[in-house]
Amino acid sequence: MPKVEGTYPHSMTKEEAVEVSKKAVMKLLSAFEATDKKVVTVDGITDHTNKNSVEFSCKSRGFSITGEVLIKESEVDVTVTLPMMAIAFKGLIKAAMNKHIPKHLEGVDE
């Protein structure tokens, strides 16, 4: 499965970064004109994975898309996984990520 990945810096606590990342993901999914949106927080303290992340899934233009925002101390790693048939949208997704995610992490309202 093709993946679109990006790493974006932040200067907030992990808890703040999780909340902001959820908002950024919702904005990103709106840019995809997504339906069936699901966004969940994974807390490493309660599920023993030792990670904090925001996981998401949706349908866009007939394709099922999944992804994760892995929250680190000073950056977030974003991965969007696409079905093979959606590889043509890889550039559009990367552009949307670069547009929406840094703005949210910098506290800029859109």
Hey, what domains does the chain have and what are their CATH numbers?
3-105 (3.30.310)
User: Residue-wise pLDDT tens for the chain (110 aa)?
Assistant: 899 999 999 999 988 999 999 999 998 898 888 899 999 988 765 555 557 899 999 998 888 999 999 999 999 999 999 999 989 989 999 999 999 899 998 876 55
Separation in Å, CA 29 to CA 15, 25, 46 = 21, 6, 27
As a whole number of angstroms, the distance between CA 67 and CA 98 comes to 15
- Whole-number pLDDT of residue 61: 83
Residue 70 in 3-state DSSP? strand
- Whole-number pLDDT of residue 52: 87
| Location of structure tokens 């840094």 | 102
- Whole-number pLDDT of residue 32: 84
For 53, the enclosing helix (H) or strand (E) is strand 52-60
* Residue 63: Cβ within 10 Å count: 15
